[in-house]
Structure formats: C-alpha cells, structure tokens
Structure 1
Amino acid sequence: MISSFMKKYFIKQKMMRIVILSLIPVILSSIYFFGWRSLVLLFWVTLFGLGTEWIYEKIQGKKVSEAVFVTCILYALTLPPSTPIWIAVVGIIFGVFFGKEVFGGFGKNLFNPALVARAFVYVTFPEPLTIHWSKAATGFPGGFATYITETIDVVSQATPMLIFRETGQMISLSKLFIGNVSGSLGETSAILIILAGIYLLLKKVAAWQTMAGVLIGFTSLSGMLYLLGNPQIPNPIFGILSGGFLFGTVFMATDPVSSPRTKEGKFIYGFLVGIVTVIIRGYALFAGGMMFAILIGNIFAPIIDEGVNYIKKIRKEGEKEVTA
C-alpha cells in the first residue's frame, strides 16, 4: 500500500533513499544529545516542506520528488535544538519555494534548497539561531529521557566555534569526535558524519572529488594561516571537526544538482568551498562559514563546468592538429 502510494505521488529516486538511510544514525544521535524535540522539529519541517512542494508540483501537474525529504532532514539537522517551530517552518517553506521550485523544480535549482532555508532563517532570525543553544547530554539514556536538554546562556558553554571566537579556547578533539558538545542537531558528531560519508562514497552517491576538494582547500589555507600565527584561525583539525564543516562537506557540498557535473569541476568547486569557509570563519561576522561558502560555490558551479569543458575542447582540438 505504501509502495503504491509512493509510486503514484512521488518521483522514485533511489539515490535520495540512500542519503536518507545514511542520515538515520545522525538523526538518532540528535535525539540522544538534545532530546526528543529534535524529532518534533524534524516532523514539522518535513510536513511543511513536503506540503510546499506538493502544492507547487500539483499546480504544474507533476509528481513530488523524494529529494524533498532529504532537503527537509538536512535543513532540520542544521538548526539549534531550541529553534522555535514556527521559525523552522517559515525557513523550509522559503527554502523549498525560492531555492527550488521557482527554478522549475528538482534538477533545475541553482542553489541547495536546504542551505537557502538555513541562510534565510539565520539572517532573518539571528537571535534564536546564534544565541540560544542546549547542552549535549551524556551517559545513558541521554536525551532519550527528556524533551529537550538544558539551555545554555553563557558563551563559555556555547558551540565550539563560538567559544574559540570569543575566548580563543578549543574544546577537546575527543568531544568533537564523539559529538557531546553544544551545536546544531546533526552537526556535532564527527564520527557519525564520517561513517555516513564513507557509506555514501561506497554507494557512489556522493562524489569523492568534491569532498577531497573541500578538505584540501580548507586544510591548505587554514594550515598556512595557522602556522603564520593568525589568532583568528584554529588548527585545521579543530576546524574540520567543528562548526558543521564535516556535515556540510558530506551532505551539502556533494548535492548533485547544485554542484558541478564534471569530475574536474567537482574538485575545483570543493576546493573553492574549502577556501571560502576559512576566509568567512576567520574574517567575517559569522563563526561558521560553511553554509555561506557552499552557497557561494553554487553560484560558480555552472561557470566551473563551462570552463572545464572549454579546456577539454581546446585540448581535443590541439590533439587533432598534432595527429594531423
């Protein structure tokens, strides 16, 4: 019955189902670290995100894409645990409509719709998105025994990147690796995100060129600035494990629609995202930077592909002339 319903109203997208499967451990960890409110937030975001796309596609006489579920999950996992539900809902409606549907629907959008939604609420509602955080639960049963964990109201207990920016102190790498630190719902546990990334690579759903480009671009620039003694730049390992960097690298930057199509273009695009992340984190007003870096990368994705294809064309013409 469920299968026939999905077939009737949704575009079948096996790739998206694999991404959702890889996100299940991350969703469960968000409940463990921050309580059941993460699941409530995810429910309302998915309901309104799905509804927004259904209304638009219904008018166009088309089916809803299964990709909308991925968009909703990714967006919800980038939100702080205490984000007001109405703000989260406004964000996903904006992201699905203006980040995807106005371009013509799935496969035609220039920007990652989940990041469009996140950027919109980040800029429009800065206080709940940048000030109010929740403590990460530890031990058993952790957040599974509460609706939402205790709220944090001091900088010394905020997210790793905010603490570094305000005090210069760095949280232990072991905590960042496990994930029992304050932050957005799905961005804290490095180990789970890394495992999800490996799974996506094995399933050939995510491009390794993009991930490698992001890591190399970020590590090279942040490492150079760190060695030069720039106090605004932490060591590269800390930077990689904090601030949603890994989450963005694995799930957002690799979006097949808003990133380049060519293999060379994917690497260049990833390298650009990594470099821009370092610049924004170190010199802009934002403690994170990954979100805006990917959106900037989305702008250049088509141009990068055009450049790569043009160079390939010139090389082929040159080879023909030599053989002639």
Structure 2
Amino acid sequence: MSFLNRVFIKQILMRKVIYSLIPIIIISTYYFGLRAIVLMSVTTVFAIITEFLFEKRLNKKVSEAVIVTSILFTLTLPVSTPFWVAIVGIIFGVVFAKEVFGGFGRNIFNPALVGRTFLYVCFPEYLTIQWNSPSINFPGGFSTYLTPSIDTVTRSTPLITFAQTGELVPLKNLFWGNISGSLGETSAILIILAGIYLIYTKAADWRLMVSPILGFMSLNTIIYFSNVTSIPNPIWSLLSGSIIFISVFFATEPITAPKTTEGKWIYGTLIGCITLLIRIYGIFVAGGMFAVLIMNTFAPILDEGIKFYKGSRSRKVIA
C-alpha cells in the first residue's frame, strides 16, 4: 500500500468510477471470455508506464485517472483486438490527449476516446469487422479464453446488422447485452445502473448524463416519424450502439465538459444529436466518440459565451 501511495495520486472520484465499471467488466468477461480481462490488464499496464515516464520528469505521481482511462478505452474495443493494436491506442491517447497538455486536469480531449478514434481511423479492420459471439449459457466466458468469432457481416453488431439487412435485434438482447459488439457497450441495464450509482454518489453530473440521451432521442423521434430516411425506432436506437455508454462515462468527464449549467445542457444535447447524425448519414457507424471529441473542442467556448451573455444582460439591467 505504501508503494501505491508513493506512485499514485489518491483520487476518490476516480475510484467511484472504477467501482461502477466492475459489473460491466464482469459481464463483458462472461459474454466474451477471459481475454477481456487480459486485454484490459495489458492496456492498463502500458497506460500506467506511459504516464509514469512523463510524470517522473516533473517529480509527480501517476493519477488514478489513467486507470479509468485504460479501462474505458478497453471497454470500447472488441474482445479480439490484437494486443499490439490496443497498446498503440492507449499510448497514443495518454500521450497526445493528456500528457502533451500538461497531464491530469489539463487535457482538452478525453484520452480514452482519442486513443479509440486513432485506432478506428488507422486500424479499422480490427474495430469494425472482427467480432465474437456472446456466450449465453453459464459459466459462459468464465470457462473459455475467447468466444468464437463471427465471420459474416450480417451476424455482427446490431447497428451493422440493421444497416446491411434492415433486421432489428430483439430489444431484450440489447437490454441484457447478449449481442456482439465492443466489450462495454452491450449491456444497457448495467450501464444504466452504473449511471445511477455515479449520480447517487455525486461522481457525475446528471445533466451531462441525461442531456445526450435527450438530444439523441428527440432528434431520432423527429426523423423517425418524419420518414426522412431509414432509421430504427427511438427505443431500439437508444439501446443499440454506444450512446448510453458514451452518456454515462464520457460526456460526464468533468475536465473536458463545460462548467456552467447552461453549457452542460447544450454540450450534452449536441453530443446526442451529432451521434445520431453521424450514425445515419456518416460513413462511420460509431458516431458517439466523434461527437464527444467535437464537443470537447467547443466546451470552453460554450462556457465563455454563456458568461459573456450573462454579463451583458446584467450590465443592461444595471443601466
């Protein structure tokens, strides 16, 4: 324990996030095999080493936030992602989205999503076409290293299946998570429960969590009932893909999100809307990561704009 205290900065908030992720880690292992734990361990080790090498020069400790970053990064990946690809991604995310800005508390972009986006663009075959079947019978993945791979596109993730065939995976499968996909994005119920825990323990702002879902659902409903394009019903759209996972764990990151109340609502709502627009009209199925990174860019501007607007109104009232 003394060694850990010498190396890591104690961050209670980050530990709460880790606690909320434990059920998701367990279910991802159950569905896809013990390789999920191995992959997560590898990325965590390299994330810690990377941050340690940067912080050591400044006589600073490693933040526990880097553990959260590596866990979330791994949960955005398919279980069969090669180790070297995951290592490249987490190092890129920690270095270019965190350390180059000065380390913990100074980053503009979410490091886990930067690493994931880098892999999505540079090594798309590992993140878009290599999927594994979920286990459905106990002990499931606890008794195997890796579940069988899926060879055909039409039997891959719910969103890809819908795009290719128009077929909708049953809602109960989306709810419980026995579907193909990235490790942490399958079980909607566990992600929702994690969100409730984070709100209850004041580890996350409920506005940042609720607003992306409201934005996503509102725009989905408008487009769906307008028959503008082929789009699933709002409930199915919400439970499929990564929007709930993004809303609970990425939109709520306090460092990269706005600080003003109004800014939080605008920020989250636009994340939801952009996610849906990229999903429908873009060439990428996974629009959530791009939506968060886009809004990370505008978070400081939102706060400054709102403060300027409020200041202008106050001056007019006084005058």
CA displacement at 1:150 relative to structure 2: 0.6
3-state SS of 1:259 partner: coil
Q: Tell me if the contact between 1:248 and 1:291 (Cα under 8 Å) persists in the aligned partners.
A: yes
What is the CA–CA distance in structure 1 between the aligned matches of 2:113 and 2:38, rounded to whole Å?
A: 20
Aligned with 1:205 (options 203, 208, 213)? 203
Aligned with 1:180 (options 170, 178, 181)? 178
What is the CA–CA distance in structure 2 between the aligned matches of 1:5 and 1:268, rounded to whole Å?
A: 43
Which deviates more, 202-211 or 91-100? 202-211
* Cα RMSD for the two superposed structures: 1.0
The equivalences for 1:274-289 within 5 A come to 274-289=272-287
Aligned with 1:116 (options 108, 114, 118)? 114
Aligned with 1:299 (options 297, 301, 310)? 297
Gaps of 5+ in 1: none
What is the CA–CA distance in structure 1 between the aligned matches of 2:298 and 2:230, rounded to whole Å?
A: 27
What is the CA–CA distance in structure 2 between the aligned matches of 1:315 and 1:139, rounded to whole Å?
A: 61
Q: Tell me if the contact between 1:25 and 1:192 (Cα under 8 Å) persists in the aligned partners.
A: yes
What is the CA–CA distance in structure 2 between the aligned matches of 1:237 and 1:290, rounded to whole Å?
A: 17
The equivalences for 1:1-324 within 5 A come to 2=1, 4-321=2-319
Which deviates more, 190-199 or 10-19? 10-19
Which deviates more, 306-315 or 145-154? 306-315
What is the CA–CA distance in structure 2 between the aligned matches of 1:268 and 1:231, rounded to whole Å?
A: 25
What is the CA–CA distance in structure 1 between the aligned matches of 2:16 and 2:300, rounded to whole Å?
A: 26
Identical-residue share of aligned pairs (%): 55
What is the CA–CA distance in structure 2 between the aligned matches of 1:9 and 1:153, rounded to whole Å?
A: 44
Q: Tell me if the contact between 1:233 and 1:282 (Cα under 8 Å) persists in the aligned partners.
A: yes
List per-residue Cα deviations over 1:63-96 (Å, max 9, x = no partner): 1111000000000000001000110000000000
What is the CA–CA distance in structure 2 between the aligned matches of 1:11 and 1:308, rounded to whole Å?
A: 33
Counterpart residue type for residue 57 of structure 1: E
CA displacement at 1:167 relative to structure 2: 1.1
Q: Tell me if the contact between 2:243 and 2:272 (Cα under 8 Å) persists in the aligned partners.
A: no
What is the CA–CA distance in structure 2 between the aligned matches of 1:100 and 1:229, rounded to whole Å?
A: 42
Counterpart residue type for residue 272 of structure 1: L
3-state SS of 2:57 partner: helix
- TM-score (normalised: structure 1): 0.97
Q: How many aligned positions are there?
A: 319
What is the CA–CA distance in structure 1 between the aligned matches of 2:31 and 2:101, rounded to whole Å?
A: 37
What is the CA–CA distance in structure 2 between the aligned matches of 1:22 and 1:211, rounded to whole Å?
A: 14
List per-residue Cα deviations over 1:208-242 (Å, max 9, x = no partner): 11122101111111111111113432211111111
Q: Tell me if the contact between 1:165 and 1:232 (Cα under 8 Å) persists in the aligned partners.
A: no
What is the CA–CA distance in structure 2 between the aligned matches of 1:199 and 1:105, rounded to whole Å?
A: 27
Which deviates more, 232-241 or 279-288? 232-241
List per-residue Cα deviations over 1:243-281 (Å, max 9, x = no partner): 111111100111111111112111110011011011100
Q: Tell me if the contact between 2:257 and 2:264 (Cα under 8 Å) persists in the aligned partners.
A: yes
3-state SS of 1:60 partner: coil
Q: Tell me if the contact between 2:159 and 2:285 (Cα under 8 Å) persists in the aligned partners.
A: yes
What is the CA–CA distance in structure 2 between the aligned matches of 1:211 and 1:223, rounded to whole Å?
A: 19
Gaps of 5+ in 2: none
Q: Tell me if the contact between 2:131 and 2:181 (Cα under 8 Å) persists in the aligned partners.
A: yes
